[in-house]
Amino acid sequence: MVSVLLNTDDLTVFSGPDTVELLVDIGPDGQRGSKIFAGNGNPNSNPGNILETPQLNDLYIDIATAYMYQYIAEPTGNTWVQILSISPVLFSKTYSPTFATGTATIDIPLTTISSNLSTSTLATALNVQYNIEHTKPIASSIQKSIVEISSVKNLRITLKAVDFTSGSAADLSGAKTVQVFITLIPSGG
């Protein structure tokens, strides 16, 4: 109830309520936020890795492959779907190959790029960027393949390059510094 303290034709002053009642209590549990689970292997194949019933939008990290999954609703039912790699393949190193008749080869053991690489589609799954240091303008191309050398699988990078002097091109020759940066192109899950 509000009490009138002063009332005139021009001015009305009101006061606050006589009592204020504040109820402090804990309400019912709300829907929990997403949880992050971890285990060894795909959570669809190894449901025993998760000790609670998953809820939509929960996350799961497969520690064997470093893939993250999310529990989502699908028309066929709720399922874990791979959403990203939390440990992307990133590799960079500087090499000093020798160019002869415009060609140089760099062999990189796959295990130095990543310990989790399968060789079935590697030549197309690896994105290789490079830079050849030189004092003149260069035009170059790259070819990549998987080769086995002494029982070790390698990514072979073959570079072909020419440099330009006074408007004419000549095959690159001699030792050159080449920076190589490699990433893995995601397969789309």
Residue 54 burial (10 A CB sphere; 0-12, 13-18, 19+): buried
Predicted confidence at residue 107, as pLDDT, reads: 96
What's the CA gap between 126 and 132, in Å, rounded? 19
Q: Would you tell me how many other CB atoms lie within 10 Å of the CB of residue 159? A: 23
CA-to-CA dists, residue 161 to 126, 131, 134, angstroms: 21, 11, 11
Residue ranges of the chain with per-residue pLDDT less than 50:
189
What's the CA gap between 1 and 16, in Å, rounded? 8
Tokens at residue 1, please? Answer: 């109830």
Could you state, in order of their start, the residue ranges of all structural domains in the chain? 1-87, 90-184
**Per-residue pLDDT reduced to its tens digit, 89-104:** 788 999 999 999 999 9
Q: In 3D, which of 27, 104, 33 has the Cα closest to residue 71?
A: 33
Q: In 3D, which of 104, 65, 108 has the Cα closest to residue 84?
A: 65
Q: Output the pTM of the full model.
A: 0.57
